[in-house]
Structure 1
Amino acid sequence: IFVQFPPNRRGQAMGLHSMGIQIAPMRGPMIGGMVIDTVGWREIFLVPIPICVVSLFLGMLYLPGREEAGAPPKFDWLGYSLLITAIGTLLAAGANGQRYGWGSDAIILMAFVGVTTGTAFVWLQLRAASPLLDFSLFRVPQFTAAVIVGFVFGLGNFASNYLIPVTVQEVQGLTPFLSGLMLVPAGLIVFAGTPIFGRVADVFPAHLIVMCGLCLFALGNYLMSRTDANTTFATFAVLVIIARCGMAVLVPALSASALTALTTEQLHRGTGTINFIRQLGGSCGVTALVVFIERRTQFHADAMAATQTSDNVASVELLSRVGALLAELGLSENIRSPAALHYLGEVIEAQALARGFSDGFVMIAIVFVLAVIPAWNLGKARRRRLA
């Protein structure tokens, strides 16, 4: 796409290309929720198979190959093996640290293997004739700044796609289908607006557009952090629209600005690098978010449990009311008291989980605000390159 369009139309082309990308976050959760509600959660893993088969067939038919001057380079199987081992073990260590303990032998072993294989991968790529990941591209400041923002984009996109449905299911009590349906209005608006934002990227400085997109997405997530069990379906959907519009503003300008700084010979490597970093950000983002929410939920649960004393008027009143309701049902005293305490524990757990989700939205917002710094450097690097 980038090669086929002139510089003054690349943002628009990226915007049109992004329209297809926006369909997945819009339709995927809704279809997945429908499958879970009607069939079961195991069958959800079968849904991508026919889509991938069709995509593979269409890609072989219509996607142009890259013209090579001579024989294509051999695939670096050793580098690939080191890369997937490093990413897999490090993500597994992060995901299971809460379960096994961060100082357990299993976590330490996985972290050691991940760091060792990751270091070996970097060492190998720096010396390879045809590396999987060309680290020389990071000598271009504008591309490096775009890659950092792309990592944050992947982190926030995947993390929010995970957090929003889980939050509305656990806090608002929505079904999986309704939680997916909540994302549809935002997807439709973004789908229609992405070409417009792509055209805007051809007219205005890319780094300013990227900064606006980051701030808009951060604002949407912060507002979602202020929601609770009483937040209506429509209100939450509007907040999702605000965040998703930030994504629509961000993507075309970021993609165009990242590749503009590269030469024609570097384009294919630059495209692969930024896509890889974006996906890596998504994987790391979901893992880090889950760990963060677990720790914050436990923190809030411990804090609220510490306040459950005889001086806590609200808790004493709740126990009294629950005990009275159980008494009306004819339950004896030795059953009413433990049952009321169990209900109080469930209330504390639910409130702690809701606050943990809220902290998760705040963390995503903070990360996107911090990403404004490399986005600003994106403009500075471009001005230095043109000077």
Structure 2
Amino acid sequence: MPAQSAPSGPGDKLDRDVLRVASVVVLGAIMAILDTTVVNVALQKLTLEFSTSFDTIQWVATGYMLALATVIPVTGWASDRFGTKRLYLLAIGTFLVGSMLAGLAWNVESLIIFRVLQGLGGGMLMPAGMTILTRAAGPQRIGRVMSVLGVPMLLGPICGPILGGWLVDAVSWRWIFYINVPIGVLAFLLALRLLPKDDPEPSGRFDFVGMLMVSPGLAALIFGVSRIPSTGTVGAVEVWLPALAGLVLLVAFVLRALRVAHPLIDLKLFRNRSFSVAMITMSVFCVGFFGAMLLLPTYFTLVRGESALHAGLLLAPQGLGAMLAMPITGRLADKIAARRIVLPGLGLIVLGMVVFTQVGATTSYGLLLSSLFVMGLGMGATMMPITSAALQTLRPKDMAKASTATNIVQQTAGAIGSAIMSIILAALLAAKFGVSTSQGQLAATAATLNPATHTAAATLTADSFATTFLWATVLLALCLIPAFFLPKKRFVPEADADSAAQVAVPMH
């Protein structure tokens, strides 16, 4: 597929056409990412509404996540085969229909089915949107467009619990799905009008065998990992069996993809050193950071007794820090080497996390909120510059497949990180309260709610959180190692260099 034309010159600003495309892509991203986090705070309400068990209602979240993992691998091929604009419109339409039906759900089974439909649309939105945006901007402005796309990715986990808590408490659980309808309709109409038309270019026969390996493989792996917090152990059959089956399928896919002509995911991308190093850095980062971020609201609700709404509001400084940093680092990512941005960003995140490794039951909110702000600044200088480093040196025709691979890495590593941090916390709580691992958080909740045991229980629980945050901090510190091998030079696209190949330019 031909790349959209973009003015040459690394210093060029984002023009009106690119900003229009960005507005459409950001709307779609907001819709998909908000929905993931909004639903999490409503699970307890849905359990009561449908008179079901928490294990069953978890499938409202798990079904969405598995559908996401299943459809993401197909989007790279589908972008080339049908065109990114058509695929993006299909993704928004599918998500919109799924949202409306989920809001109309009459029992838990229908809600789970409609959430899966939502996930099929949501899984296509981010990689297709990223492909459209990077092609429209051109490689010389990837840093800036990634900073634009990164705003909803950062604000979703923060604004989602706030919006979800308010809708569930003040309106109705159905509105956590209906809220997508006006956003989705607007995004669909804007996409129809503003997205540039592209001509499909079939990239060989569709790799059905590869799809039957990688999509179920990812779904099985993420499902097995997602069951760790509820079972409390990796030894449970429902954890290791699907996870092992998923790993076997993924390994088989890799071995086959290295031999066939047109694999579902082009592993030749990893021959590009910048792309490979960026993906390794992204994997380690997502495991440590998103695992820790999952636990922050729980600390505020379990240890400090805050409501879900207040816990979401307390995370706002992180979003503010990220919003301040991202426009600056986005411009810098197009002018200087990624390593010079990512390493200081990781340093800020580790610095902020150190405070949480010492967190207690009465730690000053001022100190915690300041640390979250510093972590937000670091986040704004980390995730999107890493993505920019991965994409800047690739050819325009590789963008769809690269966006797919990037989203797979983020989803898988994020799920693994959440499970790892949850099981560490559950094991620590179980040891503190003398119960089985699966009962650790329940025991801590009961003890902190009891006035007679509240003070002692809050201290023990806070200590468990501090140790868990220490593990996350160690992982984030280890992320500095692959980040050190990110490009030391900025790659100038051929349009800038007036040459047939990309040229590395040292930045002093």
Are the counterparts in 1 of residues 142 and 391 from structure 2 also a CA contact under 8 Å? no
In the alignment, does 2:284 pair up with 1:176?
Answer: no
Query: 2:217 pairs with 67, 86, 98, which one?
Result: 86
* Change in CA separation of 1:58 and 1:196 when aligned onto 2, cut-off 3 Å: same
User: Highest CA radius of gyration, 1 or 2?
Assistant: 1
Q: What's the counterpart of residue 358 of structure 1?
A: 466
Are the counterparts in 2 of residues 147 and 277 from structure 1 also a CA contact under 8 Å? yes
Partner secondary structure for residue 378 of structure 1: coil
Partner secondary structure for residue 204 of structure 1: coil
Instruction: Report the Cα distance in structure 2 between the residues aligned to 1:182 and 1:368, rounded to whole angstroms.
Output: 22
Report 1:320-359 matches (<5 A).
349-359=457-467
Partner secondary structure for residue 263 of structure 2: coil
In the alignment, does 2:397 pair up with 1:265?
Answer: yes
Instruction: Report the Cα distance in structure 1 between the residues aligned to 2:222 and 2:455, rounded to whole angstroms.
Output: 32
Partner secondary structure for residue 343 of structure 2: helix
Q: Note the C-alpha offset of 1:120.
A: 2.7
Instruction: Report the Cα distance in structure 1 between the residues aligned to 2:265 and 2:148, rounded to whole angstroms.
Output: 27
* Change in CA separation of 1:107 and 1:176 when aligned onto 2, cut-off 3 Å: closer
In the alignment, does 2:477 pair up with 1:369?
Answer: yes
Q: Note the C-alpha offset of 1:138.
A: 1.0
Higher relative contact order (CA 8 A, sep 6+): 1
Shifted more, 185-194 versus 279-288: the winner is 185-194
Report 1:7-18 matches (<5 A).
8-18=140-150
Alignment deviations for residues 199-226 of structure 1 (CA, whole Å, 9 cap, x no partner): 2223332112111111211221221222
Are the counterparts in 2 of residues 86 and 118 from structure 1 also a CA contact under 8 Å? yes
Instruction: Report the Cα distance in structure 2 between the residues aligned to 1:185 and 1:353, rounded to whole angstroms.
Output: 24
Are the counterparts in 2 of residues 225 and 362 from structure 1 also a CA contact under 8 Å? yes
Instruction: Report the Cα distance in structure 1 between the residues aligned to 2:205 and 2:235, rounded to whole angstroms.
Output: 41
* Change in CA separation of 1:201 and 1:232 when aligned onto 2, cut-off 3 Å: same
Q: What's the counterpart of residue 177 of structure 2?
A: 46
Q: What's the counterpart of residue 315 of structure 1?
A: none
Query: 1:281 pairs with 413, 421, 443, which one?
Result: 413
Query: 2:343 pairs with 196, 208, 211, which one?
Result: 211
- Letter of the 1:91 counterpart: I
Are the counterparts in 1 of residues 278 and 483 from structure 2 also a CA contact under 8 Å? yes
Q: Note the C-alpha offset of 1:149.
A: 1.5
Query: 1:296 pairs with 428, 434, 448, which one?
Result: 428
Q: What's the counterpart of residue 114 of structure 1?
A: 246
Q: Note the C-alpha offset of 1:365.
A: 1.4
Are the counterparts in 1 of residues 320 and 376 from structure 2 also a CA contact under 8 Å? no
- Letter of the 1:359 counterpart: T
Q: How many residues align?
A: 347
Shifted more, 255-264 versus 348-357: the winner is 348-357
- Structure 1 residues not aligned, in runs of 5+: 304-338
Query: 2:332 pairs with 195, 200, 206, which one?
Result: 200
Are the counterparts in 2 of residues 152 and 368 from structure 1 also a CA contact under 8 Å? yes
Query: 1:238 pairs with 370, 388, 396, which one?
Result: 370
Q: What's the counterpart of residue 326 of structure 1?
A: none
Q: What's the counterpart of residue 32 of structure 1?
A: 164
In proportion to residue count, which structure has more helix?
1
- Letter of the 2:391 counterpart: L
- Letter of the 2:466 counterpart: S
Instruction: Report the Cα distance in structure 2 between the residues aligned to 1:184 and 1:104, rounded to whole angstroms.
Output: 37
Q: What's the counterpart of residue 324 of structure 1?
A: none
Are the counterparts in 2 of residues 150 and 277 from structure 1 also a CA contact under 8 Å? yes
Are the counterparts in 2 of residues 301 and 348 from structure 1 also a CA contact under 8 Å? no
Are the counterparts in 2 of residues 142 and 381 from structure 1 also a CA contact under 8 Å? no
* Change in CA separation of 1:199 and 1:20 when aligned onto 2, cut-off 3 Å: same
- Letter of the 2:222 counterpart: L
Q: Please, what is the CA RMSD of the aligned residues? A: 3.3
Partner secondary structure for residue 382 of structure 2: helix
Are the counterparts in 2 of residues 26 and 188 from structure 1 also a CA contact under 8 Å? no
- Structure 2 residues not aligned, in runs of 5+: 1-132, 436-446, 492-502
Alignment deviations for residues 71-109 of structure 1 (CA, whole Å, 9 cap, x no partner): 455544443343232233333333435727544444443
Are the counterparts in 2 of residues 194 and 249 from structure 1 also a CA contact under 8 Å? yes
Q: Note the C-alpha offset of 1:228.
A: 1.9
* Change in CA separation of 1:106 and 1:2 when aligned onto 2, cut-off 3 Å: closer
Instruction: Report the Cα distance in structure 2 between the residues aligned to 1:94 and 1:200, rounded to whole angstroms.
Output: 37
Are the counterparts in 1 of residues 158 and 319 from structure 2 also a CA contact under 8 Å? yes
* Change in CA separation of 1:15 and 1:108 when aligned onto 2, cut-off 3 Å: closer
